Amino acid sequence: MIYALNRITSLIREIASGEVAEGILDEYPNPVTRKEIDLRADRTSQLTGVDISPEEIADILSALECEIVEKNQGTLRVSVPPFRPDLEREIDLIEEVLRFHGMEQVPSPGLFQYHTQEIESGEDHLSERVANLWKGFGFNQTVSNSLLKEEYCFPEVTRKTPVEVRNPLSEEMAYLRTSLIPLLVEGVIKNYNRRETDIRLFEFGRVFDANPNADTQADEYNHLAVVAAGHTAPRTWSEVQKRIDFYEFKGYIESMLNLIGVSEYSFERLDSKLFQPGFALSIEGKLAGIGGQIHQTFLQQFAMDEIVFGLESDIDVIQLGVPEKLDYEKPSDYPAVERDLSFIVSKELEAAKLGTALQKAGGKLLADLTLYDLYEGDPIPADKKSLTYSLRFISKEKTLTEKDVDSVVRHMLDRAAKQHHAHLREE
C-alpha cells in the first residue's frame, strides 16, 4: 500500500508539478482485524478422503498468505489475511487446502450402487401398458399444449365447460383444453403439409371442466386421445396399399381393450360436431369415450381433404373395466362346431346390437361370433339389409352334437326375433 502511494505521489510531482508534503497520513477509523480459525488435520482428511499431513496443510496455507499462529497436536490456528473475507469457517480453509493439493488426488469410491423403491399407481401402470400397445400398433406418442382457442373447446361434444384463462398470452391460448383431439389433429395437418401422409399419433393428458366449487375452479380428468390418417401399411411390391377406414381404426381400439383385459364394452352410433360418423364407447355401462371420423367441417378450416379418425377416452373409466389380474384358461380338448347365420333386419338396426343379443343368447357354448357380410339390394327389400354372422361353438366338457348346437341356435334366433325383429334369410 505504501509503495503504491509513493509511486502515485512521484508521478503527480513529475507530471503535474505537484509539491509533496512531509509524512504519511493514515485515515483508517475501523481497521480490519485478522480473523483466526482453528483447522483440524484429521477433520480435513475425513472430509476430503485424502490423508494430508499438518505440515503440508501449513505450507499450503502459508502460500496463500495465511499465517500459522499456533500448532497443537494436529490442530492449526490460522490467521486469515484481510483481503480474504471469504475465509470464515474451518470448511473454507479445508476447501482451499484441497484445491491446492489437487482434486485429482481424491480417490474414486469404485462401484457405487443404490436402490430406490418405486411406488406406481394403478393409473400409471395402465397408462404405461396402453402406451406400449399403441406403440406396438405403429403409433407415435406426442405431447401438446394444454391451452387452446375457444373454437377448439367443443363443450357440446365433450360435455365439459371451458375454463377461461385470466391473462392469456394470445387468443390461441385463451382456454384450458376440454379435449385432446383438436391439437392432435393440428399435429396431423402439420405433418401432412410436410408430405408425411401416413400419420398415427396418441397422447395422454389432462382435460379440464369448470367447477366453481372446486379449489382450483376446475375438475381434471385423465384422457387418452388417438388419431390416424393415411394408409394401413407402408407401400411394398407385394401388396396394394389400403387406406385406413372406420372399421380398421375401430379394430385398433377393440384390440387395445381386449389386450388389457376389458371384456364388457360396447360401441353405439353417436354423431357430433367433432365426429361424423361417430361412436360412443361404453365400459360396464359407463361412457368411456367418443370417436370416429373427424368431421369434415373441422378439417376444412385447414384446407385438409384427408380423412382422419380419432378417439377421445377417459382413462379412469377404462380402468374400471380392467381386472386386477388376467385369468388364463386351458384350451378345450374337444373340437369346435361352426355355423353361419344370415339375418334380414331393419336398415336402421346397428349390427353391434344384434351381435350383442346373439352373444348373450349363445351362452358359454358360443366361443366366437363374427359379422363377415353386409348386403343391401335385390332381392332384399329396400328398407332391409342382410347381416351374416360366423358362429363357433365349443365345450370344455364334451364333444358337441348337432342336437346340442341346434338347441343353442334356436334360443339365439328367438332372442333376435323378439328384441330386433330379425329373421333368417331364405336362400
Strands of the sheet containing 366-375, edge to edge, are 366-375, 384-393, 337-346, 423-424
Three-state SS at 212: coil
The whole-angstrom separation of Cα 121 and Cα 127 is 10
Domain-terminating residue out of 294, 320, 346 = 320
Spatial distance between the Cα atoms of 416 and 361, rounded to a whole number of angstroms:
9
- Among residues 226, 230, 234, 231, the alpha carbon closest in space to that of 201 is found at 226
Q: What is the pLDDT along the chain (427 residues), one digit of tens a residue?
A: 778 888 888 899 889 888 888 878 777 777 777 889 999 989 988 888 888 888 998 999 999 889 989 988 889 999 998 888 888 899 999 999 989 888 888 877 666 565 655 555 556 788 999 999 999 999 999 999 999 888 888 888 888 888 998 888 888 889 999 999 989 999 999 998 898 889 999 999 999 999 988 888 899 999 999 999 998 888 888 888 889 999 999 999 999 999 999 988 888 888 888 899 999 999 988 999 999 999 988 888 777 788 999 999 999 999 999 988 877 778 899 999 999 999 999 999 988 889 989 999 999 999 999 999 999 988 899 999 999 999 999 999 999 999 999 999 999 999 999 999 999 987 6
DSSP string, 54-118: HHHHHHHHHHTT-EEEEEETTEEEEEEPTT-TT--SHHHHHHHHHHHH-GGGSPP--S-------
| Pairing, β 384-393 against β 366-375 | antiparallel
Give the three-class secondary structure for 372. Answer: strand
Contacts 24+ apart (CB under 8 A), 358-361: 358/389, 358/391, 358/412, 358/415, 358/416, 360/415, 361/408, 361/411, 361/412, 361/414, 361/415, 361/416
Q: Whole-angstrom Cα distance, residue 176 to residue 146?
A: 6
- For residues 160 and 294, membership in a common domain is answered with yes
Question: Is 250 found in the same domain as 143?
Answer: yes
Radius of gyration of the chain (CA): 40
Whether residue 282 lies inside any domain: the answer is yes
The residue assigned the cell 378417439 is: 311
Q: Whole-model pTM above 0.75?
A: no
Same domain, 226 and 313: yes
In this structure, the answer to whether residues 194 and 286 fall within a common structural domain is yes
State the cell numbers at 384: 332391409
Are residues 273 and 145 both part of a single domain?
yes
Q: Which residues, including other chains, have CB under 8 Å from residue 75's CB and lie 6 or more apart?
A: 38, 39, 40, 41
For residue 348, the SS3 value is coil
Which cell goes with 104? 485429482
Q: Could you tell me if 99 and 55 lie in one domain?
A: yes
**Count of domains forming the chain:** 3
184 and 307 part of one domain: yes
Domain holding 64, by residue range, is: 35-105
